[in-house]
A and B are shown apart, each in its own frame.
Chain A
Protein backbone atom coordinates (compact mmCIF):
# COMPACT_ATOMS: atom_id res chain seq x y z
CA UNK A 1 0.00 0.00 0.00
CA UNK A 2 2.88 2.28 0.73
CA UNK A 3 3.94 1.68 -2.88
CA UNK A 4 0.58 2.95 -4.15
CA UNK A 5 0.94 6.09 -2.13
CA UNK A 6 4.36 6.56 -3.67
CA UNK A 7 3.20 6.16 -7.30
CA UNK A 8 0.33 8.54 -6.79
CA UNK A 9 2.77 11.20 -5.71
CA UNK A 10 5.23 10.63 -8.57
CA UNK A 11 6.28 13.77 -10.34
CA UNK A 12 6.25 16.07 -7.39
CA UNK A 13 10.03 16.36 -7.70
CA UNK A 14 12.17 17.09 -4.73
CA UNK A 15 9.47 16.41 -2.19
CA UNK A 16 8.82 12.93 -3.49
CA UNK A 17 12.53 12.19 -3.63
CA UNK A 18 12.83 13.23 0.00
CA UNK A 19 9.98 10.87 0.86
CA UNK A 20 11.67 8.02 -0.91
CA UNK A 21 14.94 8.75 0.86
CA UNK A 22 13.02 8.87 4.13
CA UNK A 23 11.35 5.52 3.52
CA UNK A 24 14.66 3.92 2.57
CA UNK A 25 16.92 5.23 5.32
CA UNK A 26 14.76 5.99 8.33
CA UNK A 27 13.90 2.39 9.31
CA UNK A 28 17.57 1.75 9.91
CA UNK A 29 17.84 4.88 12.02
CA UNK A 30 14.90 3.73 14.14
CA UNK A 31 16.36 0.32 14.91
CA UNK A 32 19.92 1.66 15.22
CA UNK A 33 19.75 2.81 18.87
CA UNK A 34 18.99 -0.70 20.01
CA UNK A 35 21.78 -2.33 18.05
CA UNK A 36 24.41 0.33 18.77
CA UNK A 37 23.74 0.41 22.52
CA UNK A 38 23.42 -3.35 22.80
CA UNK A 39 26.64 -3.74 20.85
CA UNK A 40 28.63 -1.34 23.01
CA UNK A 41 27.30 -2.38 26.43
CA UNK A 42 26.15 -5.95 25.84
CA UNK A 43 27.79 -7.84 23.02
CA UNK A 44 31.23 -6.26 23.02
CA UNK A 45 31.83 -6.85 26.75
CA UNK A 46 30.73 -10.44 26.39
CA UNK A 47 33.17 -11.07 23.55
CA UNK A 48 35.90 -9.09 25.28
CA UNK A 49 35.46 -11.39 28.29
CA UNK A 50 36.81 -14.20 26.16
CA UNK A 51 40.00 -12.26 25.47
CA UNK A 52 40.49 -11.09 29.06
CA UNK A 53 40.08 -14.63 30.33
CA UNK A 54 43.24 -15.50 28.39
CA UNK A 55 45.28 -12.86 30.24
CA UNK A 56 46.54 -12.25 33.77
CA UNK A 57 44.87 -8.86 33.86
CA UNK A 58 44.31 -7.18 37.23
CA UNK A 59 42.80 -3.80 38.01
CA UNK A 60 46.02 -2.19 39.18
CA UNK A 61 48.61 -4.48 37.66
CA UNK A 62 51.34 -2.81 35.59
CA UNK A 63 51.01 -4.89 32.45
CA UNK A 64 48.76 -7.55 31.07
CA UNK A 65 50.23 -10.72 29.66
CA UNK A 66 48.72 -13.30 27.44
CA UNK A 67 48.67 -16.50 29.47
CA UNK A 68 46.79 -18.82 27.14
CA UNK A 69 44.54 -21.27 28.88
CA UNK A 70 46.29 -20.96 32.26
CA UNK A 71 43.22 -19.45 33.92
CA UNK A 72 41.04 -22.26 32.65
CA UNK A 73 43.46 -24.93 33.85
CA UNK A 74 43.62 -23.23 37.23
CA UNK A 75 39.84 -23.01 37.38
CA UNK A 76 39.40 -26.72 36.75
CA UNK A 77 41.63 -27.44 39.75
CA UNK A 78 40.07 -24.73 41.92
CA UNK A 79 38.09 -26.42 44.71
CA UNK A 80 36.47 -23.11 45.71
CA UNK A 81 35.03 -22.86 42.21
CA UNK A 82 33.56 -26.35 42.28
CA UNK A 83 32.21 -25.69 45.75
CA UNK A 84 30.49 -22.60 44.35
CA UNK A 85 29.09 -24.59 41.43
CA UNK A 86 27.71 -27.19 43.83
CA UNK A 87 26.12 -24.55 46.06
CA UNK A 88 24.60 -22.74 43.10
CA UNK A 89 23.09 -25.88 41.60
CA UNK A 90 21.78 -27.08 44.96
CA UNK A 91 20.13 -23.78 45.84
CA UNK A 92 18.72 -23.55 42.34
CA UNK A 93 17.12 -27.00 42.57
CA UNK A 94 15.76 -26.48 46.09
CA UNK A 95 14.33 -23.13 45.01
CA UNK A 96 13.01 -23.96 41.55
CA UNK A 97 11.19 -27.25 42.01
CA UNK A 98 8.85 -26.14 44.85
CA UNK A 99 8.52 -22.73 43.25
CA UNK A 100 7.17 -24.07 39.96
CA UNK A 101 4.96 -26.67 41.67
CA UNK A 102 3.46 -23.98 43.93
CA UNK A 103 3.05 -21.72 40.91
CA UNK A 104 1.17 -24.41 38.98
CA UNK A 105 -1.18 -25.10 41.87
CA UNK A 106 -1.71 -21.41 42.49
CA UNK A 107 -2.49 -20.76 38.84
CA UNK A 108 -4.97 -23.62 38.93
CA UNK A 109 -6.72 -22.04 41.92
CA UNK A 110 -6.69 -18.58 40.32
CA UNK A 111 -8.18 -20.01 37.13
CA UNK A 112 -11.63 -20.25 38.69
CA UNK A 113 -14.59 -17.93 38.99
CA UNK A 114 -13.31 -15.92 41.86
CA UNK A 115 -14.52 -13.02 43.90
CA UNK A 116 -11.90 -10.34 44.51
CA UNK A 117 -9.91 -11.77 41.60
CA UNK A 118 -7.75 -8.70 41.11
CA UNK A 119 -7.02 -8.45 44.83
CA UNK A 120 -5.74 -12.03 44.96
CA UNK A 121 -3.64 -11.52 41.84
CA UNK A 122 -2.13 -8.37 43.28
CA UNK A 123 -1.27 -10.15 46.54
CA UNK A 124 0.35 -13.00 44.65
CA UNK A 125 2.51 -10.71 42.50
CA UNK A 126 3.48 -8.34 45.32
CA UNK A 127 6.74 -10.19 46.16
CA UNK A 128 7.87 -9.61 42.58
CA UNK A 129 7.59 -5.84 43.08
CA UNK A 130 9.78 -6.10 46.18
CA UNK A 131 13.46 -5.61 45.41
CA UNK A 132 15.91 -8.48 45.83
CA UNK A 133 17.76 -6.40 48.40
CA UNK A 134 14.62 -5.92 50.48
CA UNK A 135 13.70 -9.60 50.24
CA UNK A 136 17.18 -10.63 51.30
CA UNK A 137 17.38 -8.25 54.25
CA UNK A 138 13.87 -8.95 55.56
CA UNK A 139 14.33 -12.71 55.37
CA UNK A 140 17.82 -12.51 56.85
CA UNK A 141 16.21 -10.92 59.88
CA UNK A 142 13.40 -13.49 59.92
CA UNK A 143 15.99 -16.29 59.77
CA UNK A 144 18.36 -14.76 62.31
CA UNK A 145 19.66 -17.21 64.86
CA UNK A 146 18.87 -15.38 68.08
CA UNK A 147 15.84 -13.18 67.48
CA UNK A 148 14.33 -14.45 64.23
CA UNK A 149 10.61 -14.97 64.02
CA UNK A 150 11.18 -18.31 62.32
CA UNK A 151 13.17 -19.50 65.32
CA UNK A 152 10.19 -18.60 67.50
CA UNK A 153 7.65 -20.35 65.27
CA UNK A 154 9.74 -23.51 64.87
CA UNK A 155 10.49 -23.46 68.59
CA UNK A 156 6.75 -23.60 69.16
CA UNK A 157 6.62 -27.01 67.47
CA UNK A 158 9.77 -28.23 69.13
CA UNK A 159 12.30 -27.65 66.34
CA UNK A 160 15.57 -25.81 66.64
CA UNK A 161 17.02 -23.38 67.35
CA UNK A 162 18.70 -23.58 63.92
CA UNK A 163 21.69 -21.45 63.05
CA UNK A 164 20.49 -21.01 59.49
CA UNK A 165 23.49 -19.07 58.28
CA UNK A 166 26.12 -21.43 59.65
CA UNK A 167 25.01 -24.75 58.22
CA UNK A 168 25.34 -25.81 54.60
CA UNK A 169 21.93 -27.35 54.00
CA UNK A 170 20.19 -24.91 56.36
CA UNK A 171 21.63 -21.89 54.54
CA UNK A 172 20.61 -23.40 51.20
CA UNK A 173 17.07 -23.83 52.50
CA UNK A 174 16.92 -20.28 53.84
CA UNK A 175 18.13 -18.83 50.53
CA UNK A 176 15.80 -21.03 48.50
CA UNK A 177 12.90 -19.82 50.61
CA UNK A 178 13.72 -16.23 49.61
CA UNK A 179 13.87 -17.13 45.92
CA UNK A 180 10.66 -19.14 46.08
CA UNK A 181 8.82 -16.38 47.93
CA UNK A 182 9.78 -13.80 45.34
CA UNK A 183 9.13 -15.83 42.17
CA UNK A 184 6.29 -18.30 42.81
CA UNK A 185 3.56 -15.69 42.25
CA UNK A 186 5.17 -14.38 39.08
CA UNK A 187 5.31 -17.86 37.57
CA UNK A 188 1.74 -18.48 38.72
CA UNK A 189 0.54 -15.49 36.68
CA UNK A 190 2.43 -16.72 33.64
CA UNK A 191 0.86 -20.18 33.97
CA UNK A 192 -2.52 -18.56 34.51
CA UNK A 193 -2.19 -16.59 31.28
CA UNK A 194 -1.34 -19.80 29.44
CA UNK A 195 -4.18 -21.74 31.09
CA UNK A 196 -6.65 -19.17 29.87
CA UNK A 197 -5.50 -19.86 26.33
CA UNK A 198 -6.28 -23.60 26.44
CA UNK A 199 -9.30 -24.28 24.21
CA UNK A 200 -12.45 -25.33 26.08
CA UNK A 201 -13.15 -28.12 23.61
CA UNK A 202 -10.35 -30.16 25.17
CA UNK A 203 -11.94 -29.97 28.59
CA UNK A 204 -15.41 -30.67 27.19
CA UNK A 205 -14.14 -33.76 25.38
CA UNK A 206 -12.37 -34.93 28.51
CA UNK A 207 -15.51 -34.39 30.55
CA UNK A 208 -17.48 -36.53 28.11
CA UNK A 209 -14.84 -39.23 28.53
CA UNK A 210 -15.42 -39.02 32.26
CA UNK A 211 -12.17 -37.27 33.20
CA UNK A 212 -12.59 -34.79 36.01
CA UNK A 213 -10.57 -32.47 38.23
CA UNK A 214 -7.17 -33.99 38.81
CA UNK A 215 -7.16 -36.14 35.65
CA UNK A 216 -8.05 -33.10 33.55
CA UNK A 217 -5.23 -31.23 35.26
CA UNK A 218 -2.59 -33.89 34.57
CA UNK A 219 -3.83 -34.96 31.13
CA UNK A 220 -4.82 -31.65 29.58
CA UNK A 221 -3.60 -28.67 31.56
CA UNK A 222 -0.01 -29.82 32.18
CA UNK A 223 0.69 -31.09 28.63
CA UNK A 224 -0.89 -27.97 27.12
CA UNK A 225 1.28 -25.80 29.34
CA UNK A 226 4.44 -27.50 28.15
CA UNK A 227 5.84 -24.54 26.15
CA UNK A 228 5.12 -22.24 29.07
CA UNK A 229 6.75 -24.63 31.53
CA UNK A 230 9.81 -24.78 29.29
CA UNK A 231 9.84 -20.98 29.24
CA UNK A 232 9.66 -20.67 33.03
CA UNK A 233 12.26 -23.38 33.60
CA UNK A 234 14.70 -21.68 31.22
CA UNK A 235 14.08 -18.26 32.80
CA UNK A 236 14.59 -19.65 36.29
CA UNK A 237 17.74 -21.44 35.15
CA UNK A 238 19.27 -18.29 33.72
CA UNK A 239 18.26 -16.30 36.80
CA UNK A 240 18.89 -18.98 39.42
CA UNK A 241 22.40 -19.86 38.29
CA UNK A 242 23.33 -16.18 38.55
CA UNK A 243 22.10 -15.97 42.14
CA UNK A 244 23.99 -13.25 43.97
CA UNK A 245 21.96 -10.68 45.91
CA UNK A 246 20.30 -12.98 48.44
CA UNK A 247 23.41 -14.91 49.51
CA UNK A 248 25.56 -11.76 49.39
CA UNK A 249 23.26 -9.93 51.81
CA UNK A 250 22.72 -13.06 53.91
CA UNK A 251 26.33 -12.71 55.08
CA UNK A 252 26.88 -10.45 58.07
CA UNK A 253 30.17 -9.08 56.73
CA UNK A 254 29.36 -8.83 53.00
CA UNK A 255 32.64 -10.21 51.73
CA UNK A 256 31.12 -12.44 49.09
CA UNK A 257 32.69 -15.59 50.54
CA UNK A 258 29.28 -17.06 51.30
CA UNK A 259 29.82 -17.73 54.97
CA UNK A 260 32.91 -18.57 56.95
CA UNK A 261 33.24 -22.01 55.34
CA UNK A 262 31.95 -20.88 51.92
CA UNK A 263 28.89 -22.98 52.66
CA UNK A 264 26.64 -20.90 50.40
CA UNK A 265 29.00 -19.06 48.08
CA UNK A 266 27.52 -19.00 44.58
CA UNK A 267 29.43 -18.75 41.30
CA UNK A 268 28.62 -15.07 40.78
CA UNK A 269 29.70 -14.39 44.38
CA UNK A 270 33.00 -16.11 43.64
CA UNK A 271 33.40 -13.99 40.49
CA UNK A 272 32.63 -10.87 42.54
CA UNK A 273 35.07 -11.95 45.26
CA UNK A 274 37.90 -12.40 42.76
CA UNK A 275 37.24 -9.19 40.85
CA UNK A 276 35.81 -6.60 43.19
CA UNK A 277 35.80 -7.66 46.84
CA UNK A 278 38.92 -7.67 48.95
CA UNK A 279 42.21 -6.72 47.37
CA UNK A 280 42.69 -9.22 44.59
CA UNK A 281 41.08 -7.54 41.55
CA UNK A 282 41.90 -10.59 39.45
CA UNK A 283 40.02 -9.55 36.33
CA UNK A 284 41.47 -12.22 34.08
CA UNK A 285 40.50 -15.04 36.43
CA UNK A 286 37.07 -13.51 37.12
CA UNK A 287 36.40 -13.33 33.38
CA UNK A 288 37.24 -17.03 33.19
CA UNK A 289 34.65 -17.69 35.91
CA UNK A 290 32.18 -15.66 33.84
CA UNK A 291 32.72 -17.84 30.79
CA UNK A 292 32.49 -21.01 32.86
CA UNK A 293 29.16 -19.79 34.23
CA UNK A 294 27.93 -19.01 30.72
CA UNK A 295 28.77 -22.57 29.74
CA UNK A 296 27.09 -23.94 32.85
CA UNK A 297 23.90 -22.01 32.10
CA UNK A 298 23.88 -23.24 28.51
CA UNK A 299 24.40 -26.88 29.53
CA UNK A 300 21.82 -26.85 32.33
CA UNK A 301 19.29 -25.07 30.10
CA UNK A 302 19.78 -27.67 27.39
CA UNK A 303 19.33 -30.53 29.87
CA UNK A 304 16.20 -28.89 31.26
CA UNK A 305 14.82 -28.41 27.79
CA UNK A 306 15.31 -32.07 26.99
CA UNK A 307 13.68 -33.16 30.25
CA UNK A 308 10.69 -30.83 30.08
CA UNK A 309 10.10 -31.67 26.44
CA UNK A 310 9.20 -35.18 27.54
CA UNK A 311 6.25 -34.04 29.65
CA UNK A 312 3.66 -35.04 27.10
CA UNK A 313 5.09 -38.47 26.36
CA UNK A 314 5.35 -39.26 30.06
CA UNK A 315 1.75 -38.33 30.63
CA UNK A 316 0.15 -39.88 27.59
Chain B
Protein backbone atom coordinates (compact mmCIF):
# COMPACT_ATOMS: atom_id res chain seq x y z
CA UNK B 1 0.00 0.00 0.00
CA UNK B 2 2.80 2.33 0.86
CA UNK B 3 4.43 1.71 -2.48
CA UNK B 4 1.20 2.47 -4.34
CA UNK B 5 0.87 5.74 -2.50
CA UNK B 6 4.47 6.53 -3.25
CA UNK B 7 4.27 5.85 -6.96
CA UNK B 8 1.07 7.86 -7.25
CA UNK B 9 2.75 10.75 -5.54
CA UNK B 10 5.87 10.59 -7.67
CA UNK B 11 3.91 10.40 -10.90
CA UNK B 12 1.91 13.43 -9.76
CA UNK B 13 5.14 15.26 -9.20
CA UNK B 14 6.41 14.32 -12.63
CA UNK B 15 3.26 15.61 -14.22
CA UNK B 16 3.42 18.88 -12.31
CA UNK B 17 6.93 19.49 -13.49
CA UNK B 18 5.88 18.85 -17.06
CA UNK B 19 3.03 21.34 -16.80
CA UNK B 20 4.84 24.16 -15.03
CA UNK B 21 6.74 26.19 -17.55
CA UNK B 22 10.19 27.15 -16.41
CA UNK B 23 10.39 30.79 -15.53
CA UNK B 24 11.76 33.09 -18.20
CA UNK B 25 13.89 36.22 -17.68
CA UNK B 26 10.80 38.44 -17.71
CA UNK B 27 9.25 36.44 -14.85
CA UNK B 28 12.42 36.85 -12.82
CA UNK B 29 12.60 40.55 -13.62
CA UNK B 30 9.03 41.17 -12.44
CA UNK B 31 9.51 39.07 -9.31
CA UNK B 32 12.71 40.91 -8.44
CA UNK B 33 10.94 44.26 -8.82
CA UNK B 34 8.03 43.07 -6.65
CA UNK B 35 10.46 41.75 -4.04
CA UNK B 36 12.30 45.05 -3.93
CA UNK B 37 9.00 46.90 -3.60
CA UNK B 38 8.14 44.63 -0.66
CA UNK B 39 11.48 45.16 1.01
CA UNK B 40 11.96 48.84 0.34
CA UNK B 41 9.58 50.41 2.90
CA UNK B 42 11.12 48.31 5.67
CA UNK B 43 14.61 49.19 4.50
CA UNK B 44 13.54 52.81 4.35
CA UNK B 45 12.37 52.79 7.97
CA UNK B 46 15.83 51.55 8.90
CA UNK B 47 17.50 54.26 6.81
CA UNK B 48 15.49 57.03 8.46
CA UNK B 49 16.03 55.47 11.89
CA UNK B 50 19.79 55.59 11.39
CA UNK B 51 20.00 59.30 10.54
CA UNK B 52 19.15 62.49 12.34
CA UNK B 53 16.25 64.57 11.11
CA UNK B 54 18.30 66.77 8.82
CA UNK B 55 18.84 63.75 6.58
CA UNK B 56 15.08 63.28 6.19
CA UNK B 57 14.79 66.69 4.56
CA UNK B 58 17.99 66.33 2.50
CA UNK B 59 17.69 66.81 -1.23
CA UNK B 60 18.30 64.51 -3.02
CA UNK B 61 17.16 61.99 -0.36
CA UNK B 62 19.75 59.90 1.44
CA UNK B 63 19.22 56.23 0.56
CA UNK B 64 21.96 54.58 2.61
CA UNK B 65 22.02 53.90 6.38
CA UNK B 66 23.71 56.46 8.58
CA UNK B 67 25.39 56.32 11.95
CA UNK B 68 22.74 57.77 14.25
CA UNK B 69 20.85 54.54 14.99
CA UNK B 70 22.31 54.16 18.46
CA UNK B 71 21.60 57.78 19.30
CA UNK B 72 17.98 57.41 18.16
CA UNK B 73 17.60 54.20 20.13
CA UNK B 74 18.82 55.84 23.34
CA UNK B 75 16.31 58.65 22.78
CA UNK B 76 13.55 56.09 22.17
CA UNK B 77 14.22 54.09 25.33
CA UNK B 78 14.78 57.13 27.52
CA UNK B 79 11.33 57.47 29.04
CA UNK B 80 12.39 60.79 30.55
CA UNK B 81 12.69 62.26 27.08
CA UNK B 82 9.85 60.73 25.06
CA UNK B 83 6.17 60.43 25.88
CA UNK B 84 6.05 56.63 26.16
CA UNK B 85 7.88 53.94 28.08
CA UNK B 86 9.09 51.71 25.30
CA UNK B 87 10.47 48.99 27.56
CA UNK B 88 7.07 48.61 29.22
CA UNK B 89 5.50 48.43 25.78
CA UNK B 90 7.83 45.68 24.58
CA UNK B 91 7.32 43.64 27.75
CA UNK B 92 3.53 44.12 27.59
CA UNK B 93 3.35 42.99 23.98
CA UNK B 94 5.48 39.96 24.75
CA UNK B 95 3.19 38.98 27.64
CA UNK B 96 0.00 39.52 25.64
CA UNK B 97 1.19 37.73 22.51
CA UNK B 98 2.77 34.92 24.55
CA UNK B 99 -0.30 34.18 26.68
CA UNK B 100 -2.69 34.45 23.73
CA UNK B 101 -0.55 32.17 21.55
CA UNK B 102 -0.35 29.54 24.29
CA UNK B 103 -4.07 29.43 25.01
CA UNK B 104 -5.16 29.67 21.38
CA UNK B 105 -3.03 26.65 20.48
CA UNK B 106 -4.01 24.67 23.58
CA UNK B 107 -7.76 25.30 23.34
CA UNK B 108 -7.70 24.77 19.58
CA UNK B 109 -5.93 21.43 19.99
CA UNK B 110 -8.38 20.31 22.71
CA UNK B 111 -11.48 21.33 20.75
CA UNK B 112 -10.01 20.05 17.48
CA UNK B 113 -9.37 16.69 19.15
CA UNK B 114 -12.94 16.49 20.40
CA UNK B 115 -14.40 17.46 17.01
CA UNK B 116 -12.14 15.07 15.09
CA UNK B 117 -11.95 11.99 17.25
CA UNK B 118 -14.55 11.92 20.02
CA UNK B 119 -18.18 11.06 19.59
CA UNK B 120 -20.77 13.26 21.23
CA UNK B 121 -24.26 14.49 20.61
CA UNK B 122 -24.38 17.78 18.66
CA UNK B 123 -20.87 17.46 17.32
CA UNK B 124 -21.75 18.42 13.76
CA UNK B 125 -23.94 21.36 14.77
CA UNK B 126 -21.32 22.70 17.17
CA UNK B 127 -18.61 22.49 14.50
CA UNK B 128 -20.82 24.47 12.12
CA UNK B 129 -21.30 27.01 14.90
CA UNK B 130 -17.54 27.37 15.27
CA UNK B 131 -17.14 28.00 11.55
CA UNK B 132 -20.06 30.44 11.53
CA UNK B 133 -18.37 32.56 14.20
CA UNK B 134 -15.55 33.22 11.74
CA UNK B 135 -17.97 35.23 9.59
CA UNK B 136 -19.03 37.53 12.41
CA UNK B 137 -17.00 40.74 12.54
CA UNK B 138 -16.80 40.78 16.33
CA UNK B 139 -14.81 44.03 16.29
CA UNK B 140 -18.12 45.78 15.78
CA UNK B 141 -18.99 44.93 19.38
CA UNK B 142 -16.29 47.25 20.73
CA UNK B 143 -18.69 49.52 22.61
CA UNK B 144 -20.31 46.80 24.75
CA UNK B 145 -16.97 45.05 25.09
CA UNK B 146 -15.56 48.27 26.49
CA UNK B 147 -18.50 48.54 28.89
CA UNK B 148 -17.84 44.94 29.93
CA UNK B 149 -14.24 45.83 30.65
CA UNK B 150 -15.34 48.76 32.80
CA UNK B 151 -17.51 46.34 34.81
CA UNK B 152 -14.63 43.90 35.20
CA UNK B 153 -12.32 46.79 36.17
CA UNK B 154 -9.92 45.78 33.42
CA UNK B 155 -9.64 49.03 31.45
CA UNK B 156 -5.96 49.98 31.14
CA UNK B 157 -4.95 46.46 32.19
CA UNK B 158 -3.45 43.82 29.94
CA UNK B 159 -6.17 41.27 30.65
CA UNK B 160 -8.57 43.49 28.71
CA UNK B 161 -6.47 42.84 25.60
CA UNK B 162 -5.75 39.20 26.38
CA UNK B 163 -9.21 37.90 27.33
CA UNK B 164 -11.06 38.50 24.03
CA UNK B 165 -8.28 36.79 22.06
CA UNK B 166 -7.92 33.61 24.12
CA UNK B 167 -9.64 31.40 21.54
CA UNK B 168 -9.69 31.34 17.77
CA UNK B 169 -12.29 29.72 15.55
CA UNK B 170 -9.76 29.49 12.75
CA UNK B 171 -7.44 27.63 15.12
CA UNK B 172 -10.11 25.13 16.16
CA UNK B 173 -10.99 24.46 12.55
CA UNK B 174 -7.35 24.09 11.48
CA UNK B 175 -6.64 21.66 14.31
CA UNK B 176 -9.78 19.67 13.65
CA UNK B 177 -8.81 19.21 10.00
CA UNK B 178 -5.26 18.25 10.86
CA UNK B 179 -6.14 15.79 13.61
CA UNK B 180 -8.86 14.16 11.50
CA UNK B 181 -6.39 13.65 8.68
CA UNK B 182 -3.20 12.69 10.45
CA UNK B 183 -3.91 10.96 13.75
CA UNK B 184 -4.93 7.32 13.05
CA UNK B 185 -7.91 5.96 14.98
CA UNK B 186 -5.90 2.80 15.68
CA UNK B 187 -3.40 4.78 17.70
CA UNK B 188 -6.17 6.31 19.80
CA UNK B 189 -7.88 2.96 20.34
CA UNK B 190 -4.61 1.39 21.38
CA UNK B 191 -4.11 4.07 24.00
CA UNK B 192 -7.71 3.54 25.18
CA UNK B 193 -7.12 -0.19 25.52
CA UNK B 194 -4.07 0.58 27.58
CA UNK B 195 -6.42 2.34 29.99
CA UNK B 196 -5.96 5.97 29.00
CA UNK B 197 -8.74 8.42 29.70
CA UNK B 198 -9.55 10.87 26.89
CA UNK B 199 -7.26 13.46 28.44
CA UNK B 200 -4.48 10.89 28.57
CA UNK B 201 -5.02 10.14 24.89
CA UNK B 202 -4.82 13.86 24.20
CA UNK B 203 -1.61 14.21 26.14
CA UNK B 204 0.21 11.10 24.91
CA UNK B 205 -1.10 10.67 21.36
CA UNK B 206 -2.71 13.83 19.97
CA UNK B 207 -0.44 16.52 21.33
CA UNK B 208 2.80 14.98 20.02
CA UNK B 209 1.15 14.43 16.63
CA UNK B 210 -0.09 18.00 16.16
CA UNK B 211 3.26 19.65 16.82
CA UNK B 212 3.82 20.82 13.20
CA UNK B 213 0.42 22.48 12.84
CA UNK B 214 0.62 23.81 16.40
CA UNK B 215 3.86 25.57 15.46
CA UNK B 216 2.25 27.18 12.41
CA UNK B 217 -0.88 28.23 14.31
CA UNK B 218 1.29 29.58 17.11
CA UNK B 219 3.39 31.63 14.72
CA UNK B 220 0.40 33.15 12.95
CA UNK B 221 -1.33 33.88 16.26
CA UNK B 222 1.76 35.50 17.73
CA UNK B 223 2.10 37.69 14.64
CA UNK B 224 -1.52 38.78 14.63
CA UNK B 225 -1.58 39.50 18.34
CA UNK B 226 1.70 41.41 18.27
CA UNK B 227 0.36 43.56 15.40
CA UNK B 228 -3.13 44.15 16.78
CA UNK B 229 -3.92 47.83 17.15
CA UNK B 230 -7.55 48.94 17.28
CA UNK B 231 -8.71 47.22 20.45
CA UNK B 232 -5.50 47.87 22.45
CA UNK B 233 -5.76 51.53 21.40
CA UNK B 234 -9.33 51.67 22.73
CA UNK B 235 -8.82 49.87 26.01
CA UNK B 236 -5.23 50.68 27.04
CA UNK B 237 -3.74 54.01 28.02
CA UNK B 238 -0.41 55.39 26.74
CA UNK B 239 0.96 54.77 30.26
CA UNK B 240 0.56 50.99 29.94
CA UNK B 241 0.59 50.33 26.20
CA UNK B 242 1.38 47.52 23.83
CA UNK B 243 4.11 48.20 21.29
CA UNK B 244 1.65 49.26 18.59
CA UNK B 245 -0.09 51.72 20.91
CA UNK B 246 3.30 53.04 22.03
CA UNK B 247 4.45 53.68 18.47
CA UNK B 248 1.16 55.38 17.68
CA UNK B 249 1.51 57.60 20.77
CA UNK B 250 5.04 58.40 19.73
CA UNK B 251 3.91 59.42 16.26
CA UNK B 252 1.24 61.77 17.61
CA UNK B 253 3.63 63.40 20.07
CA UNK B 254 6.54 63.93 17.69
CA UNK B 255 4.90 64.63 14.36
CA UNK B 256 7.98 66.19 12.74
CA UNK B 257 10.58 63.95 14.40
CA UNK B 258 10.57 61.24 11.72
CA UNK B 259 13.88 59.80 12.91
CA UNK B 260 12.42 59.06 16.34
CA UNK B 261 9.05 57.82 15.05
CA UNK B 262 10.59 55.46 12.52
CA UNK B 263 13.13 54.23 15.06
CA UNK B 264 10.17 53.19 17.22
CA UNK B 265 8.49 51.68 14.18
CA UNK B 266 11.60 49.76 13.25
CA UNK B 267 12.03 48.41 16.78
CA UNK B 268 8.36 47.36 16.82
CA UNK B 269 8.75 45.19 13.70
CA UNK B 270 12.19 43.84 14.55
CA UNK B 271 11.05 40.88 16.72
CA UNK B 272 8.68 39.65 14.02
CA UNK B 273 11.29 40.17 11.31
CA UNK B 274 13.69 38.00 13.29
CA UNK B 275 11.10 35.27 13.75
CA UNK B 276 10.20 35.55 10.08
CA UNK B 277 13.79 35.16 8.91
CA UNK B 278 14.16 31.95 10.91
CA UNK B 279 10.71 30.41 10.41
CA UNK B 280 9.41 32.18 7.31
CA UNK B 281 8.86 29.05 5.27
CA UNK B 282 6.55 27.65 7.96
CA UNK B 283 4.53 30.86 7.93
CA UNK B 284 4.19 30.59 4.15
CA UNK B 285 3.16 26.95 4.52
CA UNK B 286 0.59 27.91 7.14
CA UNK B 287 -0.98 30.63 5.02
CA UNK B 288 -1.18 28.38 1.97
CA UNK B 289 -2.53 25.44 3.94
CA UNK B 290 -5.12 27.61 5.64
CA UNK B 291 -6.14 28.88 2.23
CA UNK B 292 -6.72 25.44 0.79
CA UNK B 293 -8.69 24.19 3.75
CA UNK B 294 -10.47 27.39 4.70
Contact = CB atoms under 8 A, between A and B. Distances in A.
Interface residues of A, number: 105
A95 interface: no
B21 A112 contact: yes
B145 A45 contact: yes
Nearest to B258: A141
Interface stretch (B67-75, B79-87, B208-216, B247-255): B247-255
A4 B188 CA distance: 13
A91 interface: no
Interface string A88-118: 0000000000000000001001111111001
Interface string B254-294: 01001001100110110011001000110110011101101
Interface string B176-216: 00000000011011001101011100100000000000000
A161 interface: no
Given A41-B163, A42-B164, A141-B262, A49 B141 contact: yes
Interface in A110-158: 110-115, 118-135, 137-142, 144, 146-147, 149, 152
B22 to A, nearest CB: 4
Interface in B19-74: 19-23, 27, 30-31, 34-35, 37-39, 41-42, 44-45, 48, 56-57, 59-61
A282 to B, nearest CB: 10
B141 A27 contact: no
Nearest to A111: B20
A44 B144 contact: yes
Contacts of A52: 143-144, 147
A33 interface: yes
Given A1-B185, A124-B35, A129-B276, A22 B198 contact: yes
Interface in A262-285: 268, 271-272, 275-276, 283
Contact of A192 (B17, B37, B146, B288): B288
Interface of B: 15-23, 27, 30-31, 34-35, 37-39, 41-42, 44-45, 48, 56-57, 59-61, 107-108, 110-111, 113-115, 118-120, 123, 126, 129-130, 133, 136-148, 163-164, 166-167, 169, 172, 185-186, 188-189, 192-193, 195, 197-199, 202, 223, 226-227, 229-230, 234, 244, 247-248, 251-252, 255, 258, 261-262, 265-266, 268-269, 272-273, 276, 280-281, 283-284, 287-289, 291-292, 294
The 9 closest A-B pairs by CB, nearest first: A45-B141, A123-B35, A48-B144, A131-B227, A193-B288, A45-B144, A41-B164, A190-B291, A30-B114
23 contacts: A1-B185, A2-B119, A22-B198, A23-B118, A26-B114, A34-B130, A37-B107, A42-B138, A44-B141, A112-B21, A120-B35, A130-B227, A131-B244, A131-B268, A134-B266, A137-B265, A181-B37, A185-B34, A200-B19, A249-B248, A253-B255, A254-B251, A291-B140
